[in-house]
Structure 1
Protein backbone atom coordinates (compact mmCIF):
# COMPACT_ATOMS: atom_id res chain seq x y z
CA UNK A 1 0.00 0.00 0.00
CA UNK A 2 1.18 3.54 -0.70
CA UNK A 3 1.15 5.49 2.56
CA UNK A 4 1.63 9.26 2.72
CA UNK A 5 3.30 10.47 5.91
CA UNK A 6 2.43 14.14 6.43
CA UNK A 7 4.82 15.27 9.13
CA UNK A 8 8.34 14.18 10.01
CA UNK A 9 8.32 14.62 13.77
CA UNK A 10 8.50 11.77 16.26
CA UNK A 11 5.18 10.21 15.26
CA UNK A 12 5.47 10.50 11.49
CA UNK A 13 9.13 9.51 11.36
CA UNK A 14 8.76 6.42 13.52
CA UNK A 15 5.48 5.17 12.06
CA UNK A 16 6.59 5.74 8.48
CA UNK A 17 9.85 3.89 9.11
CA UNK A 18 8.06 0.90 10.67
CA UNK A 19 5.48 0.69 7.90
CA UNK A 20 8.32 0.85 5.41
CA UNK A 21 9.91 -2.12 7.17
CA UNK A 22 6.57 -3.92 6.79
CA UNK A 23 6.85 -3.54 3.02
CA UNK A 24 4.61 -0.56 2.39
CA UNK A 25 5.43 2.13 -0.17
CA UNK A 26 5.96 5.07 2.18
CA UNK A 27 6.34 8.68 1.05
CA UNK A 28 7.43 11.30 3.59
CA UNK A 29 6.36 14.93 3.19
CA UNK A 30 6.06 18.17 5.11
CA UNK A 31 9.14 19.15 7.06
CA UNK A 32 11.21 22.26 7.64
CA UNK A 33 14.23 20.13 6.76
CA UNK A 34 14.39 18.58 3.27
CA UNK A 35 17.47 16.67 4.46
CA UNK A 36 15.38 14.97 7.14
CA UNK A 37 12.83 13.82 4.57
CA UNK A 38 15.66 12.46 2.43
CA UNK A 39 17.12 10.59 5.40
CA UNK A 40 13.76 9.09 6.41
CA UNK A 41 13.09 7.98 2.85
CA UNK A 42 16.52 6.36 2.64
CA UNK A 43 16.22 4.59 6.00
CA UNK A 44 12.72 3.28 5.28
CA UNK A 45 13.31 2.32 1.67
CA UNK A 46 10.61 4.79 0.70
CA UNK A 47 10.43 8.17 -0.99
CA UNK A 48 9.97 11.84 -0.16
CA UNK A 49 8.27 14.69 -1.94
CA UNK A 50 5.75 17.48 -1.68
CA UNK A 51 2.51 16.98 0.22
CA UNK A 52 0.59 16.84 -3.06
CA UNK A 53 2.97 14.19 -4.43
CA UNK A 54 2.72 12.10 -1.28
CA UNK A 55 -1.08 12.23 -1.15
CA UNK A 56 -1.62 11.43 -4.84
CA UNK A 57 -2.77 7.81 -5.13
CA UNK A 58 -2.15 7.02 -1.47
CA UNK A 59 -4.16 4.19 0.02
CA UNK A 60 -3.76 5.76 3.45
CA UNK A 61 -2.59 9.17 4.67
CA UNK A 62 -1.11 9.70 8.12
CA UNK A 63 -1.69 13.20 9.45
CA UNK A 64 1.05 13.78 12.04
CA UNK A 65 1.71 17.51 12.33
CA UNK A 66 1.41 20.00 15.18
CA UNK A 67 -2.07 21.49 15.46
CA UNK A 68 -0.68 24.93 14.59
CA UNK A 69 0.28 23.58 11.13
CA UNK A 70 -3.04 21.93 10.29
CA UNK A 71 -4.42 24.60 7.99
CA UNK A 72 -1.17 24.81 6.05
CA UNK A 73 -0.76 21.09 5.50
CA UNK A 74 -4.43 20.62 4.55
CA UNK A 75 -4.16 23.43 2.01
CA UNK A 76 -1.30 21.54 0.37
CA UNK A 77 -3.06 18.17 0.58
CA UNK A 78 -6.26 19.28 -1.16
CA UNK A 79 -9.64 17.76 -0.38
CA UNK A 80 -8.37 14.13 -0.11
CA UNK A 81 -11.78 13.03 -1.38
CA UNK A 82 -12.41 9.32 -0.83
CA UNK A 83 -9.01 8.77 0.78
CA UNK A 84 -8.45 7.20 4.19
CA UNK A 85 -6.84 9.75 6.50
CA UNK A 86 -5.44 8.50 9.81
CA UNK A 87 -5.30 11.30 12.33
CA UNK A 88 -2.91 11.04 15.27
CA UNK A 89 -2.91 14.76 16.10
CA UNK A 90 -3.96 16.12 19.49
CA UNK A 91 -5.12 19.77 19.30
CA UNK A 92 -2.48 21.36 21.53
CA UNK A 93 -1.33 24.94 21.97
CA UNK A 94 2.16 26.07 20.98
CA UNK A 95 3.61 25.00 24.34
CA UNK A 96 2.07 21.50 24.07
CA UNK A 97 0.49 21.88 27.50
CA UNK A 98 -3.19 22.66 26.87
CA UNK A 99 -5.86 21.27 24.54
CA UNK A 100 -7.38 24.09 22.51
CA UNK A 101 -10.50 22.26 21.24
CA UNK A 102 -13.23 20.53 23.32
CA UNK A 103 -15.45 19.36 25.04
CA UNK A 104 -18.41 19.97 22.74
CA UNK A 105 -16.22 19.08 19.78
CA UNK A 106 -12.74 17.69 19.22
CA UNK A 107 -9.72 18.03 17.01
CA UNK A 108 -10.75 14.94 15.06
CA UNK A 109 -14.25 16.27 14.45
CA UNK A 110 -12.94 19.67 13.38
CA UNK A 111 -10.63 18.00 10.85
CA UNK A 112 -13.59 16.08 9.44
CA UNK A 113 -15.45 19.37 9.03
CA UNK A 114 -12.47 20.93 7.25
CA UNK A 115 -12.23 18.04 4.77
CA UNK A 116 -15.66 16.36 4.75
CA UNK A 117 -14.96 14.23 1.68
CA UNK A 118 -11.99 12.45 3.28
CA UNK A 119 -12.50 9.19 5.18
CA UNK A 120 -11.31 10.06 8.67
CA UNK A 121 -10.21 7.67 11.38
CA UNK A 122 -8.26 8.50 14.54
CA UNK A 123 -5.76 6.33 16.41
CA UNK A 124 -2.08 6.13 17.45
CA UNK A 125 -2.22 9.22 19.68
CA UNK A 126 -2.65 7.47 23.05
CA UNK A 127 0.75 5.81 23.25
CA UNK A 128 3.98 7.82 22.96
CA UNK A 129 6.20 7.36 19.94
CA UNK A 130 8.88 5.85 22.18
CA UNK A 131 6.69 2.75 22.53
CA UNK A 132 6.49 1.97 18.82
CA UNK A 133 9.90 0.37 18.23
CA UNK A 134 9.82 -1.92 21.32
CA UNK A 135 6.24 -2.99 20.56
CA UNK A 136 7.22 -3.69 16.95
CA UNK A 137 10.14 -5.81 18.17
CA UNK A 138 7.73 -7.86 20.32
CA UNK A 139 4.81 -7.95 17.90
CA UNK A 140 4.55 -11.73 17.81
CA UNK A 141 4.06 -11.94 21.56
CA UNK A 142 0.62 -12.10 23.21
CA UNK A 143 -1.18 -10.20 24.50
CA UNK A 144 -0.54 -7.13 22.38
CA UNK A 145 -0.98 -3.67 23.89
CA UNK A 146 -4.09 -1.78 22.86
CA UNK A 147 -4.45 1.39 20.84
CA UNK A 148 -7.85 3.11 20.78
CA UNK A 149 -9.32 3.52 17.31
CA UNK A 150 -12.41 5.58 16.54
CA UNK A 151 -14.22 6.93 13.50
CA UNK A 152 -17.46 6.85 11.54
CA UNK A 153 -16.22 4.94 8.47
CA UNK A 154 -16.03 1.18 9.16
CA UNK A 155 -13.85 0.41 6.13
CA UNK A 156 -11.44 3.22 6.99
CA UNK A 157 -11.19 1.87 10.53
CA UNK A 158 -10.46 -1.60 9.13
CA UNK A 159 -7.60 -0.25 6.99
CA UNK A 160 -6.18 1.76 9.89
CA UNK A 161 -6.63 -1.21 12.22
CA UNK A 162 -4.58 -3.44 9.92
CA UNK A 163 -1.77 -0.87 9.94
CA UNK A 164 -1.93 -0.70 13.74
CA UNK A 165 -1.65 -4.50 13.94
CA UNK A 166 1.33 -4.51 11.61
CA UNK A 167 3.39 -2.54 14.11
CA UNK A 168 2.39 -4.82 16.98
CA UNK A 169 -0.61 -3.18 18.66
CA UNK A 170 -4.19 -4.43 18.90
CA UNK A 171 -6.71 -1.80 17.77
CA UNK A 172 -9.45 -1.36 20.38
CA UNK A 173 -12.79 -0.26 18.93
CA UNK A 174 -13.82 2.96 20.71
CA UNK A 175 -16.83 4.12 18.72
CA UNK A 176 -17.40 7.02 16.37
CA UNK A 177 -15.35 10.14 15.77
CA UNK A 178 -17.23 11.87 18.60
CA UNK A 179 -15.23 9.70 21.00
CA UNK A 180 -12.28 11.98 20.24
CA UNK A 181 -13.78 14.48 22.71
CA UNK A 182 -12.71 12.11 25.47
CA UNK A 183 -9.73 10.36 23.88
CA UNK A 184 -7.77 13.53 23.21
CA UNK A 185 -7.70 14.45 26.94
CA UNK A 186 -6.85 10.80 27.71
CA UNK A 187 -3.86 11.17 25.38
CA UNK A 188 -2.62 13.90 27.71
CA UNK A 189 -2.88 11.46 30.62
CA UNK A 190 -0.70 8.96 28.78
CA UNK A 191 1.79 11.76 28.03
CA UNK A 192 1.93 12.64 31.73
CA UNK A 193 2.56 9.01 32.64
CA UNK A 194 5.17 8.59 29.91
CA UNK A 195 7.18 11.76 30.26
CA UNK A 196 6.67 13.06 33.80
CA UNK A 197 6.45 9.88 35.86
CA UNK A 198 9.20 7.32 36.57
CA UNK A 199 9.85 4.32 34.35
CA UNK A 200 10.62 5.77 30.94
CA UNK A 201 8.55 6.98 28.01
CA UNK A 202 7.80 3.62 26.31
CA UNK A 203 4.31 3.47 27.81
CA UNK A 204 1.63 1.03 26.63
CA UNK A 205 -1.74 0.02 28.04
CA UNK A 206 -4.33 -2.70 27.77
CA UNK A 207 -8.01 -2.70 28.77
CA UNK A 208 -9.62 -5.99 29.73
CA UNK A 209 -13.21 -6.77 30.71
CA UNK A 210 -13.34 -9.14 33.66
CA UNK A 211 -15.77 -12.02 33.36
CA UNK A 212 -17.09 -14.43 35.95
Structure 2
Protein backbone atom coordinates (compact mmCIF):
# COMPACT_ATOMS: atom_id res chain seq x y z
CA UNK A 1 0.00 0.00 0.00
CA UNK A 2 1.24 3.51 -0.74
CA UNK A 3 0.68 5.91 2.15
CA UNK A 4 0.95 9.67 1.79
CA UNK A 5 2.06 11.46 4.95
CA UNK A 6 0.80 15.04 4.84
CA UNK A 7 2.93 16.72 7.49
CA UNK A 8 6.49 16.29 8.73
CA UNK A 9 6.05 16.71 12.49
CA UNK A 10 6.47 13.97 15.08
CA UNK A 11 3.09 12.39 14.41
CA UNK A 12 3.52 12.01 10.67
CA UNK A 13 7.23 11.20 10.85
CA UNK A 14 6.86 8.47 13.46
CA UNK A 15 3.86 6.77 11.85
CA UNK A 16 5.40 6.99 8.40
CA UNK A 17 8.61 5.32 9.54
CA UNK A 18 6.75 2.47 11.26
CA UNK A 19 4.46 1.82 8.29
CA UNK A 20 7.54 1.74 6.08
CA UNK A 21 8.95 -0.99 8.34
CA UNK A 22 5.75 -2.92 7.69
CA UNK A 23 6.49 -2.88 3.99
CA UNK A 24 4.37 0.06 2.84
CA UNK A 25 5.63 2.60 0.33
CA UNK A 26 5.59 5.98 2.07
CA UNK A 27 5.62 9.42 0.46
CA UNK A 28 6.24 12.43 2.71
CA UNK A 29 4.78 15.80 1.75
CA UNK A 30 4.15 19.26 3.21
CA UNK A 31 6.90 20.87 5.22
CA UNK A 32 8.58 24.26 5.44
CA UNK A 33 11.83 22.39 4.83
CA UNK A 34 12.39 20.25 1.74
CA UNK A 35 15.52 18.94 3.48
CA UNK A 36 13.37 17.56 6.28
CA UNK A 37 11.19 15.69 3.78
CA UNK A 38 14.32 14.35 2.07
CA UNK A 39 15.72 13.14 5.41
CA UNK A 40 12.47 11.41 6.39
CA UNK A 41 12.23 9.71 3.02
CA UNK A 42 15.86 8.56 3.22
CA UNK A 43 15.42 7.21 6.76
CA UNK A 44 12.60 4.87 5.75
CA UNK A 45 13.44 4.14 2.13
CA UNK A 46 10.45 6.12 0.91
CA UNK A 47 10.14 9.22 -1.20
CA UNK A 48 8.98 12.80 -0.91
CA UNK A 49 7.01 15.12 -3.13
CA UNK A 50 4.33 17.78 -3.29
CA UNK A 51 0.98 17.50 -1.55
CA UNK A 52 -0.56 17.06 -4.98
CA UNK A 53 1.82 14.18 -5.71
CA UNK A 54 0.85 12.42 -2.49
CA UNK A 55 -2.88 13.06 -2.94
CA UNK A 56 -2.86 11.74 -6.49
CA UNK A 57 -0.64 8.68 -6.08
CA UNK A 58 -1.17 7.36 -2.55
CA UNK A 59 -3.81 4.78 -1.66
CA UNK A 60 -4.27 6.28 1.81
CA UNK A 61 -3.40 9.68 3.26
CA UNK A 62 -2.51 10.62 6.83
CA UNK A 63 -3.43 14.21 7.68
CA UNK A 64 -0.91 15.29 10.31
CA UNK A 65 -0.51 19.07 10.30
CA UNK A 66 -1.28 21.84 12.77
CA UNK A 67 -4.88 23.02 12.55
CA UNK A 68 -3.69 26.48 11.47
CA UNK A 69 -2.28 24.92 8.26
CA UNK A 70 -5.39 22.95 7.26
CA UNK A 71 -6.80 25.35 4.67
CA UNK A 72 -3.43 25.79 2.97
CA UNK A 73 -2.84 22.05 2.83
CA UNK A 74 -6.32 21.23 1.51
CA UNK A 75 -5.96 23.85 -1.20
CA UNK A 76 -2.81 22.05 -2.36
CA UNK A 77 -4.41 18.60 -2.02
CA UNK A 78 -7.45 19.25 -4.20
CA UNK A 79 -10.84 17.59 -3.81
CA UNK A 80 -9.54 14.23 -2.44
CA UNK A 81 -12.52 12.56 -4.09
CA UNK A 82 -12.82 8.93 -2.98
CA UNK A 83 -9.54 9.05 -1.06
CA UNK A 84 -9.28 7.40 2.37
CA UNK A 85 -7.88 10.03 4.72
CA UNK A 86 -6.83 9.23 8.28
CA UNK A 87 -7.15 12.39 10.33
CA UNK A 88 -4.96 12.67 13.41
CA UNK A 89 -5.31 16.45 13.84
CA UNK A 90 -6.63 18.08 16.99
CA UNK A 91 -8.13 21.53 16.24
CA UNK A 92 -5.88 23.62 18.49
CA UNK A 93 -5.35 27.38 18.50
CA UNK A 94 -2.02 28.93 17.50
CA UNK A 95 -0.53 28.45 20.99
CA UNK A 96 -1.77 24.86 21.41
CA UNK A 97 -3.56 25.84 24.61
CA UNK A 98 -7.24 25.69 23.62
CA UNK A 99 -9.55 23.72 21.35
CA UNK A 100 -10.45 26.02 18.47
CA UNK A 101 -13.58 24.10 17.37
CA UNK A 102 -16.29 22.36 19.45
CA UNK A 103 -18.67 21.19 21.06
CA UNK A 104 -21.56 21.60 18.62
CA UNK A 105 -19.19 20.63 15.84
CA UNK A 106 -15.60 19.38 15.69
CA UNK A 107 -12.41 19.55 13.69
CA UNK A 108 -13.25 16.24 12.04
CA UNK A 109 -16.70 17.46 11.00
CA UNK A 110 -15.24 20.70 9.63
CA UNK A 111 -12.86 18.66 7.49
CA UNK A 112 -15.82 16.77 6.03
CA UNK A 113 -17.47 20.10 5.26
CA UNK A 114 -14.33 21.31 3.50
CA UNK A 115 -13.73 18.07 1.55
CA UNK A 116 -17.02 16.13 1.49
CA UNK A 117 -15.88 13.70 -1.21
CA UNK A 118 -13.01 12.27 0.85
CA UNK A 119 -13.47 9.16 3.00
CA UNK A 120 -12.60 10.44 6.46
CA UNK A 121 -11.78 8.47 9.59
CA UNK A 122 -10.15 9.88 12.72
CA UNK A 123 -7.54 7.98 14.72
CA UNK A 124 -4.21 8.40 16.54
CA UNK A 125 -5.02 11.93 17.73
CA UNK A 126 -5.62 10.82 21.32
CA UNK A 127 -2.21 9.14 21.76
CA UNK A 128 1.10 11.05 22.05
CA UNK A 129 3.46 10.37 19.15
CA UNK A 130 6.18 9.38 21.63
CA UNK A 131 4.19 6.22 22.42
CA UNK A 132 4.30 4.81 18.87
CA UNK A 133 7.83 3.41 18.87
CA UNK A 134 7.59 1.64 22.27
CA UNK A 135 4.16 0.22 21.37
CA UNK A 136 5.56 -1.06 18.08
CA UNK A 137 8.50 -2.61 19.93
CA UNK A 138 6.00 -4.54 22.12
CA UNK A 139 3.75 -5.48 19.21
CA UNK A 140 1.85 -8.68 19.93
CA UNK A 141 1.99 -8.28 23.70
CA UNK A 142 -1.31 -8.72 25.53
CA UNK A 143 -3.16 -6.60 26.50
CA UNK A 144 -2.64 -4.13 23.68
CA UNK A 145 -3.06 -0.39 24.22
CA UNK A 146 -5.98 1.09 22.33
CA UNK A 147 -6.52 3.90 19.84
CA UNK A 148 -9.90 5.57 19.43
CA UNK A 149 -11.22 5.28 15.87
CA UNK A 150 -14.37 7.02 14.64
CA UNK A 151 -15.94 7.86 11.31
CA UNK A 152 -18.95 7.39 9.05
CA UNK A 153 -17.32 5.34 6.26
CA UNK A 154 -17.14 1.63 7.11
CA UNK A 155 -14.64 0.87 4.36
CA UNK A 156 -12.32 3.67 5.48
CA UNK A 157 -12.54 2.32 9.01
CA UNK A 158 -11.49 -1.11 7.76
CA UNK A 159 -8.37 0.43 6.22
CA UNK A 160 -7.63 2.38 9.40
CA UNK A 161 -8.17 -0.76 11.50
CA UNK A 162 -5.42 -2.61 9.66
CA UNK A 163 -2.95 0.26 9.79
CA UNK A 164 -3.58 0.80 13.51
CA UNK A 165 -2.93 -2.87 14.23
CA UNK A 166 0.32 -2.76 12.27
CA UNK A 167 1.65 -0.18 14.74
CA UNK A 168 0.73 -2.49 17.64
CA UNK A 169 -2.47 -0.87 18.93
CA UNK A 170 -5.96 -2.29 19.17
CA UNK A 171 -8.49 -0.08 17.33
CA UNK A 172 -11.29 0.96 19.67
CA UNK A 173 -14.48 1.54 17.65
CA UNK A 174 -15.88 4.82 18.95
CA UNK A 175 -18.81 5.34 16.61
CA UNK A 176 -19.60 8.01 14.01
CA UNK A 177 -17.56 11.05 13.10
CA UNK A 178 -19.54 13.26 15.49
CA UNK A 179 -17.74 11.41 18.32
CA UNK A 180 -14.94 13.88 17.49
CA UNK A 181 -16.89 16.52 19.45
CA UNK A 182 -15.90 14.64 22.60
CA UNK A 183 -12.76 12.77 21.52
CA UNK A 184 -10.86 15.89 20.47
CA UNK A 185 -11.16 17.46 23.95
CA UNK A 186 -10.16 14.06 25.38
CA UNK A 187 -6.92 14.46 23.45
CA UNK A 188 -6.20 17.45 25.67
CA UNK A 189 -6.49 15.14 28.70
CA UNK A 190 -3.98 12.67 27.26
CA UNK A 191 -1.68 15.59 26.40
CA UNK A 192 -1.86 16.83 30.00
CA UNK A 193 -1.06 13.37 31.33
CA UNK A 194 1.77 12.86 28.84
CA UNK A 195 3.52 16.20 28.93
CA UNK A 196 2.66 17.86 32.25
CA UNK A 197 2.59 14.94 34.67
CA UNK A 198 5.52 12.78 35.83
CA UNK A 199 6.60 9.67 33.95
CA UNK A 200 7.39 10.87 30.44
CA UNK A 201 5.29 11.35 27.30
CA UNK A 202 4.97 7.74 26.07
CA UNK A 203 1.40 7.46 27.38
CA UNK A 204 -1.10 4.81 26.33
CA UNK A 205 -4.59 3.90 27.51
CA UNK A 206 -7.01 0.98 27.49
CA UNK A 207 -10.72 0.91 28.27
CA UNK A 208 -12.29 -2.27 29.65
CA UNK A 209 -15.94 -3.19 30.15
CA UNK A 210 -16.35 -5.11 33.40
CA UNK A 211 -18.66 -8.11 33.38
Name the TM-score class by shorter chain: over 0.9
Q: Which residue of 2 aligns with 1:2?
A: 2
In the TM superposition, what is the alpha-carbon distance from 1:116 to its structure 2 partner? 0.2
Deviation at 1:55, TM superposition (A): 1.3
CA distance in 2, matches of 1:140, 1:39: 30
1:176 aligns with 2:171: no
Aligned position for 1:37: 37
C-alpha separation between the residues in 2 aligned to 1:89 and 1:129? 12
Could you list the structure 1 runs, at least 4 aligned residues long, displaced by more than 2 angstroms after superposition. none
CA offset digits 1:23-42 (Å, max 9, x no partner):
10100000011111001001
**CA RMSD across the alignment:** 0.5
CA drift at 1:57? 2.7
Task: Mark the runs of 5 or more structure 2 residues left unpaired by the alignment.
Answer: none
After superposition, residues 37-186 of structure 1 pair within 5 angstroms as 37-186=37-186
Whole-Å separation in 1 of the counterparts to 2:161 and 2:114: 23
Compute the displacement of 1:143 (Å).
1.1
Matched, 1:206 2:200: no
State the alpha-carbon separation in 2 of the partners of residues 47 and 144 from structure 1. Answer: 31
TM norm structure 2: 0.99
Deviations 1:102-124 (A, max 9, x none): 00000000000000000000000
Distance of 1:184 and 1:49 partners within structure 2? 30
